[in-house]
Amino acid sequence: MHTNTEADLLAPQDWIFPVPIAYGPGRLSEIGTRCAEMGLRNPLIVTDHGSRDLPFVGRLQAFLTDAGLRSGLFCDISPNPRDDEIGAGRDAFRDGGHDAIIAIGGGSAMDGGKAVCLTANNEVSIRDFDYQKPVPTIGPDQAFPTLITIPTTAGTGAETEATAMVTDVEAGMKFCADHPDLRPALALLDPELTVGLPANLTAWTGADAMTHAIEAYCVPGFNPLCDGMALEGLALISRWLPVVMREPENVAARGGMLVGSCLAGVAFLQGLGLVHAISHMVGAEYNTQHGLTNAIILPVVLRYNLPGMEDKVPRMADAMGLGDASVEGFIAEIERILDDIGIPHALNEIGVPADCAGRIAEKAMLDSAAGTNPRTASPEEMRTLVETAIAKAR
């Protein structure tokens, strides 16, 4: 069933869909040449403050310098990027005379970089780029800077699209910032950048990618391109996640996870579901790690969504190589994977209190991901889902 080999995953690959993608071990070394070929002279590197001192940032700066380019660094991005941080990034871009943004790191770094890119050359507030609001008008003299994305975790899938999840601090809610004219000019996928990822982050980001693939495939409607991406992403993730947990230095396994994550990220362009609707609001209030929060909530939403979806469950089970293609068998396998990689059994184990359930449920009803869930949850059902995830998700 699986046609990709370790040799495939260790060889350089160039793809052009949905954006130009350079994949392969060691390809970070090409970044200076790539930027020069685009006519760039002074990109701003955007990452989160936890990644500021990690080796990949210094290596990126060195490769740019070796190619004769200047660069700056903005790293004041939280694990859940905040709207009040984006203005500081815009100031750093302008004050440094930068002409591009290189977003490098996990999902928070790339969301922060994309949000800065949206606001860099205009006076539009990041809140006005909310996906659910009218699209802001961007004049010809306000074109978005060139955007390059470099993921250093195999989970977020944020590298091929321009949407960014940002926390509205005043409202205590996340929103999806976006503009149809912003697209990454290059996504550079180097699995060597993920080799040093700690075991817990490998597990949390891997579960995040798995959640993306499952939720995207369950979105109703006809989108065979995204469906195909979701299923192949799920196949790669289910094959390589156990390997990378056992063998963290295995570059082929890291590559399989990075490509699987990327495909799942493309797939969720058609939407996500209630796992993300709830997780976004939990993260906005309690600053929890996004992939971990998703992973805890996932079984609760699967038990709500999958009964009645017997047409899709067998295809997901087949992608994962499962013998039992029933709804119960599929959920049991997901729960076994979560157990194997050490995911907690409830949100209360990561500091989410029971008394927030009503508030989180109300906010989750307003999240854009709730609108593409295969079942429409009532306010009462949403509250029950949140309460279950807090008390005992599996």
Give the domain-ending residue among 134, 165, 189: 189
Q: Read off the pLDDT of residues 61-70 as tens digits, 9 standing for 90 and up.
A: 999 999 999 9
Q: Verify that 182 and 308 share a domain, yes or no.
A: no
3-class secondary structure per residue, 199-233? HHHHHHHHHHHHHHHHHHHHCCCCCHHHHHHHHHH
Is the domain of 235 the same as that of 163? no
pLDDT per position as a tens digit, 312-328:
999 999 999 999 999 99
Residues 202 and 320 in one domain: yes
Phi, psi torsion values for 173, nearest 5 degrees: -135, 150
**Residue 75 φ then ψ, to 5°:** -130, 20
Q: Which residues pair with 104 in a beta bridge?
A: 150
Domain-located, residue 14: no
- Which CATH number fits the domain that encloses residue 353? 1.20.1090.10
Kindly state the helix (H) or strand (E) to which residue 236 belongs, with its residue range: helix 224-246
Give the CA radius of gyration of the chain: 20
Residues 147 and 263 in one domain: no
**Which tokens is 120 given?**
């860099």
Local structure of residue 346 (DSSP, 8 states)? S
Burial category of 196 from C-beta neighbours within 10 Å (exposed 0-12, middle 13-18, buried 19 and up): middle
Q: Are residues 288 and 319 in the same domain?
A: yes
pLDDT, position 310: 84
Mean pLDDT of 128-149: 95
The confidence score (pLDDT) of residue 14 equals: 94
The dihedral region occupied by 205, where left means phi > 0, alpha psi between -120 and 50, and beta the remainder, is: alpha
Buried b (16+ CB within 10 A) or exposed e, 107-135: bbbbbbbbbbbbbbbbeeebebbbeeeee
Percent of the chain with pLDDT over 70: 99
pLDDT at 3: 62
Same domain, 64 and 179: yes
Work out the mean pLDDT of the chain and round it to a whole number: 96
Which tokens in the block code for residue 136?
């802001």
User: What Å distances lie between residue 35 and 54, 147, 182, 230, 294, CA to CA?
Assistant: 22, 10, 18, 31, 35
Distance of alpha carbon 92 from alpha carbon 231, whole angstroms: 40
Same structural domain, 358 and 265: yes
Domains of the chain: total: 2
pLDDT for 1: 45
332 falls within a domain:
yes
Q: Is residue 317 part of a domain?
A: yes
The amino acid present at 102, given as its one-letter code, is I
Asked whether 41 and 102 are in contact (CB, 8 A), the reply is no
Residue 5: inside a domain, yes or no?
no
Confidence band for 5, pLDDT divided at 50, 70 and 90: confident
If asked whether residues 160 and 229 sit together in one domain, one would say no
Residue 247 shares a structural domain with residue 341: yes
Whether 236 and 375 share a structural domain: yes
Strands 21-23 vs 173-177: parallel, antiparallel or unpaired: unpaired
pLDDT digits (tens, 9 = 90+) for 302-361: 999 999 898 999 999 999 999 999 999 999 999 999 999 999 999 999 999 999 999 999
**Domain end residue (candidates: 157, 189, 221):** 189
Residue 318 lies in a domain: yes
Q: Give φ, ψ of 69 to 5 degrees.
A: -105, 145
Rounded to an integer, the average pLDDT of 364-374 is: 96
| Residues 140, 219 within the same domain | no
Percent of the chain's residues with pLDDT above 90: 95
Specify the pTM.
Answer: 0.94
pLDDT tens sequence across 214-236: 999 999 999 999 999 999 999 99
Q: List the CATH number of the domain containing 119.
A: 3.40.50.1970
Domain endpoint, select from 135, 158, 189: 189
What's the one-letter identity of residue 151?
A: P
Residue 16 lies in a domain: no
pLDDT digits 0-9 by tens, 247-288: 999 999 999 999 999 999 999 999 999 999 999 999 999 999
CA dist., res. 42 & res. 301, Å (int): 45
Looking at the DSSP bridge assignments, the partners of residue 149 are: 103, 187
For 74-88, the DSSP string reads E----SS-BHHHHHH
Sign of the Cα pseudo-torsion (42, 186, 46, 125, in order):
positive
- Regarding whether 245 and 152 lie in a shared domain, the answer is no
Domain that holds residue 249: 198-391
- The pLDDT, as a whole number, for residue 131 is 87
- pLDDT given for residue 317 in this prediction: 98
Please tell me the predicted confidence (pLDDT) of residue 4: 72
Whether 20 is in a domain gets the answer no
Q: Is the pLDDT of residue 194 over 80?
A: yes
State the DSSP code for 246.
H
- Whether 195 has a pLDDT exceeding 60, the answer reads yes
Specify if 19 maps to a domain. no
